[in-house]
Structure 1
Amino acid sequence: MGATSRALRALLLLVGFHLLGVLLLAALAGADFLLYLYAPSGVAAKLYFVSVLLAIPLIRGMVMLRTPKAEEMPGLPVTEADEPALWHTVRELAGQVGTRAPSRILLTPDVNAAVAEDARLLGLLPGPRRLYLGVPLLQGLTEAQLRSVLAHELGHYSNADTRLAALTVRGRAQIVRTIGHFEERAGKTAAREQARQEKKNAKATAKGKKTSEVDTRHAGVTYRAMARIYTAYAKLYMRATLTGARAQEYAADAAAARIAGQAATASALREIPVLDAAFDYYARHYLTLGQDAALLPPRGEVFGGFGQMLSARQLELAGLRAELPTGPLSPYDSHPPIADRVHRIEALPADDRTDEGGGAALGLLSDPGRTLTALEDAVLTEEVRRFRRTADWPELLNGSMTAQLTDLDTPLHRALAMYTKASPTLPALLGLIDDGGLWQLARRLPLSEEAKTAKGRVFREFVRPALTESLYSMVVAEFSARARLRWEFSWERPAIPRLLPAPGGTAPSSDVALNDLAGPAVAAAVADHPDTGPLRALLSSAPTGPANRETDSPR
């Protein structure tokens, strides 16, 4: 389907969405007129009321049809003076694709590349163009792979995809907002009805009367009915427009292979899901590590650390590259499956560009360290930028873990507090275990239905993993409070708590992994016949000292 046909179809679908509300209102008006002519006045009055209830969400939905002006994605704008090599590459590739280069380039902190165009007259007239380029791509791709990614995105310009997106994206946004509005109104109506019924039951209970079961099934039914109608149209709209979107992706892939090479394009498609998974792991385990303690790594390391993690985990990443995502494709996904795209590119005739651009794409930046630092200032919130900077990642880890352990709150803590009606401390728990109350305490942990009905050894096997994990956490927190822990930082594996030697104590002369000592002691404390002796002996070697806590971290 050509650009003109896609534009016409998108325009008709958008007009159809606007007409849907008008047609539904006209249908209600027609039904009311028939009621006026033929129905008894009493019945007609009741049905008029229902008609009004249906018309209200329709009118509200039509008010939502206007799409608000889209906000620009957060990023770091770079001029040609800032990054001459990057701009030269983009302009060169735009010439090879046969399209106009973007007028702005913004570096972003995510694993993504995208193009946008502020087209006019619903995409019929071109407008200023923007290229969004994720810095994690620069950190993880070779220069040849990055050229393939850029050629793919610029290929969307040459097919008029970005201009026509003004039609399709506008329709998608309006449908999603309208459905969301109906669902939100339905939820609020149900919440009000639930609160009303609960208040009524509370009054009945106070008077000693029988209460009724709270039932909100009919609350917000008109809004849910309208949401279902628009959802049905949304499915038609998405299927019709996204089929073309997937064809555009195949065409952009072909352009990338022609310009950047078959091998570079196929390897880039394989690498992007790997980088996406790796960055998600980095964000969860490193990037947000100091959030609770209001700590940040040194300047430039917030996003710069991702490159260090990639270098340290090359063997692990190599295994991921061989596993292409092959999950079922949603009919509403604008991109075909990666596996399908890779197989199409690899089926093309091989070319002679296998050794081109083997260097790291980050080398296209004039000063990577300066850019990574500037990116932090551009995308981090003002509150986060006020966090205290640590000297290095190990200091960040130690400060973060100390703060987390200070506020430790496990299921075992909560169960112990309910059971003893006192502060849930490790000494209190050990005393309770010695008194034979461990398995009664375990009954107060969050349990599955199967565990609740289990007895004897079967019950103990159900709860032992949760008890072991929570008790070990309490032991780690105890040693942390006594300033006896050092956390070993690594880009290759999870952090390891190491027990520091105690001055004048019986601990080893050099620090050892805490789990090597605490693991067997904790296991003994939650055995079928609990024994706290090994754990008490381990704790007795750790005299109380000043806590190793961060106290001057700005928030």
Structure 2
Amino acid sequence: MGATLRALRAVVLLCGFHLLSLLLLAALAGVDVAVFTWVHGAAGMKIVAVSVLLAIPVVRGMFMLRTPKGEGPPGIEVTDADEPRLWALVRELAAATGTRAPDRIVLTADVNAAVSEDTRLLGLRPGPRRLYLGVPLLTGLTEARLRGVLAHEYGHYTGGDTRLSALVVRGRVQIARVVEHFHEKADGKVAAERGRQEKASAKRVAKGKEAKEVDTTGAGVTYRMMASIYTLYGKLYLRASLSTARAQEYAADRAAARIAGRDAIASALREIPALSASHDFYLDSYATLGLPVRLMPPRGEFFGGFGRLLAAREEELARLRATLPTAPASPYDSHPPIAERVRRLEALPADGRAAEAGGPALALLTDPEKTLVALEDAVLSDEVLGYPRAAAWQELLDAAMAQGMSDAHTPLHRALAEYTGQPATLPALLEVVDDGRLWRLAERLPLSDEAAAAKGRAFREFVRPQLRSSLRTMVLAEFSTRSLLGWEFSWSRAAAARLTGPVPGSTPDSNPDSDPDGGPEAALDAAVDAALADRPDTAPLRALLSPAATPPA
């Protein structure tokens, strides 16, 4: 479908919204005329008042003439003087694609690249163009893959997609606003009816009568009916407009293959889902690790550490690249499945540009470290930017894990507090174990149906792994409060706990890496297993926690 037909389709869909609104207004007006003709008195006036209230959201939606200006993600706007190499690449690819280069480049904190255009007259006149380019994307892509991504985005310019977006967005927003107005009115009616019935029930109870059940089924029904009509049209509108958007993605992929090479854009598409998943993991597990203790990574490392994670976990990335999402797209997805896009690209004839690798895309920036620092200032909140900075990642990990240990609250903590009626402490748990009540306590843990139905030894085998995990956490928390617990920071694997003090039962001066059977961690695991055996023995754990096991400060 060409740009002209897509524009015509967008106009027809937008006109359909206004036609639906006019039909509904006509129907409401017809009801009013019939009321004035056949119904008199208060009942007639009430029906007319309801029709007027229903017409207000419809009219407001029809006369929302201005398309809301979409605000792009926050970031750093860079000029030609700031980033000459990046701008040179952007202009080179624009010329090769046969389109006008963007007027602005904004570096963002997303694993994404996007283009926009502030058109006028509903897309009939072009306007200023912007390119949004994620710094994490530059961190993970080579220059060749970045060329493929940029060529894809320029394909949207050449296809007129950015200019037509004004029409499509306007229709979506108008429909959403009308539906939202009707739902707000319905919710207000439900709340008012609930309040009225609850007040009446309170009066009945005060008189010694039984309270009636609150029933708001009929409240706001006319508003919900109107909302459902627009919702049905909204689904049709989205299906039609987003199916066009998916076709635009395929067309932009083909344009990128012509400009940057088939293999460059195909490999970039394989890379982006892996980078996106890795970036989410990085933010959750590393960058924001210290926020609960109001501590930030070293300056520039909030986004800068992502590159180190990628380098350390290359094997995991390779597996992610090989397993592209193949689930069928929803009718409301604006993009086709990545696997299908890659399949179509790799089915194109080879163009001999497979060897064009290039260096890392981040090297296109004049001073990447300076950019990473500036990105923090542009994207993060003032509150977060005001937190102290750790001197190194290890310091950040130690502070965060110490707080996590002090706040630890496992299912065993909750079960123990319920069972004893006392605060859940490790000494209290050991008393329960010594009294032979461990497995009664275990019955209060969250259990699967199979575990809950088991008896005797079978039950113990079901619950022992959960008990072991929670008990180990309780012991580690105790060691943490005594400053006898350290953590090993790693980019390639999860942080590992390391006991730093002398542990009874462990081999003196043993190295856990070279002698895993004699180190402090092995002694701890053996003590936990002894406490959870069929015939429990808490002596090893008590020895670990005895004052003699704790060196003087």
Find the aligned partners of 1:486 and 1:413 in 2 and give their Cα distance. Answer: 23
> 1:282/1:179 Cα in 2 relative to 1: closer, same or farther (>3 Å)?
farther
**Structure 1 counterpart of 2:541, one-letter code:** L
Find the aligned partners of 1:545 and 1:207 in 2 and give their Cα distance. Answer: 70
Q: Structure 2 unaligned segments of length 5 or more: list them.
A: 513-518
State the match for 1:553 in structure 2: none
- TM-fit CA distance, 1:288: 1.3
Residue 531 (structure 1) aligned with residue 537 (structure 2): yes
- TM-fit CA distance, 1:184: 4.8
Alignment of 1:283-322 (within 5 A): 283-322=283-322
Residue 425 (structure 1) aligned with residue 425 (structure 2): yes
Alignment of 1:209-358 (within 5 A): 209-358=209-358
In the alignment, is the contact (CA less than 8 A) between 1:500 and 1:510 conserved in 2?
no
- TM-fit CA distance, 1:423: 2.3
> 1:447/1:340 Cα in 2 relative to 1: closer, same or farther (>3 Å)?
same
* SS state at 2:537 partner: coil
Residue 76 (structure 1) aligned with residue 76 (structure 2): yes
State the match for 1:32 in structure 2: 32
Find the aligned partners of 1:164 and 1:301 in 2 and give their Cα distance. Answer: 39
Q: What count of residue pairs does the alignment treat as equivalent?
A: 546
Deviations 1:240-279 (A, max 9, x none): 1122211211111111111111111111111111111111
Find the aligned partners of 1:462 and 1:470 in 2 and give their Cα distance. Answer: 14
Of all paired residues, the percent bearing the same amino acid is 63
In the alignment, is the contact (CA less than 8 A) between 2:503 and 2:523 conserved in 1?
no
In the alignment, is the contact (CA less than 8 A) between 2:61 and 2:174 conserved in 1?
no
Residue 148 (structure 1) aligned with residue 148 (structure 2): yes
In the alignment, is the contact (CA less than 8 A) between 1:295 and 1:387 conserved in 2?
yes
Q: Structure 1 unaligned segments of length 5 or more: list them.
A: 547-555
> 1:259/1:542 Cα in 2 relative to 1: closer, same or farther (>3 Å)?
farther
- TM-fit CA distance, 1:199: 6.0
Give the alignment's TM-score, normalised by structure 1: 0.89
In the alignment, is the contact (CA less than 8 A) between 1:498 and 1:511 conserved in 2?
no
In the alignment, is the contact (CA less than 8 A) between 1:18 and 1:65 conserved in 2?
no
* SS state at 1:292 partner: helix
State the match for 1:110 in structure 2: 110
- TM-fit CA distance, 1:40: 8.2
Deviations 1:130-151 (A, max 9, x none): 0000111111111100000001
* SS state at 1:295 partner: coil
Residue 373 (structure 1) aligned with residue 379 (structure 2): no
Find the aligned partners of 2:443 and 2:208 in 1 and give their Cα distance. Answer: 33
State the match for 2:516 in structure 1: none
Deviations 1:290-321 (A, max 9, x none): 11011111111111111100000111111111
In the alignment, is the contact (CA less than 8 A) between 1:53 and 1:222 conserved in 2?
no
- 145-154 or 493-502: bigger deviation: 493-502
Deviations 1:100-144 (A, max 9, x none): 111110111111000011111111111111000011111111110
- TM-fit CA distance, 1:41: 6.8
Deviations 1:474-514 (A, max 9, x none): 22211111101111111111110100024999785467577
- TM-fit CA distance, 1:228: 1.7
State the match for 2:387 in structure 1: 387
In the alignment, is the contact (CA less than 8 A) between 1:3 and 1:160 conserved in 2?
yes
- TM-fit CA distance, 1:44: 5.5
**Structure 2 counterpart of 1:543, one-letter code:** T
Find the aligned partners of 2:457 and 2:49 in 1 and give their Cα distance. Answer: 63
- TM-fit CA distance, 1:52: 5.8
Find the aligned partners of 1:190 and 1:205 in 2 and give their Cα distance. Answer: 22
Find the aligned partners of 2:520 and 2:213 in 1 and give their Cα distance. Answer: 53
In the alignment, is the contact (CA less than 8 A) between 1:270 and 1:324 conserved in 2?
yes
State the match for 1:543 in structure 2: 550
Give the alignment's TM-score, normalised by structure 2: 0.89
Find the aligned partners of 2:68 and 2:207 in 1 and give their Cα distance. Answer: 52
State the match for 2:10 in structure 1: 10
> 1:481/1:337 Cα in 2 relative to 1: closer, same or farther (>3 Å)?
same
> 1:187/1:313 Cα in 2 relative to 1: closer, same or farther (>3 Å)?
farther
In the alignment, is the contact (CA less than 8 A) between 1:501 and 1:511 conserved in 2?
no
- TM-fit CA distance, 1:357: 3.6
> 1:33/1:120 Cα in 2 relative to 1: closer, same or farther (>3 Å)?
same
In the alignment, is the contact (CA less than 8 A) between 1:61 and 1:182 conserved in 2?
no
* SS state at 2:105 partner: strand
Find the aligned partners of 1:470 and 1:503 in 2 and give their Cα distance. Answer: 20
- TM-fit CA distance, 1:43: 7.1
- TM-fit CA distance, 1:352: 1.9
* SS state at 1:107 partner: strand
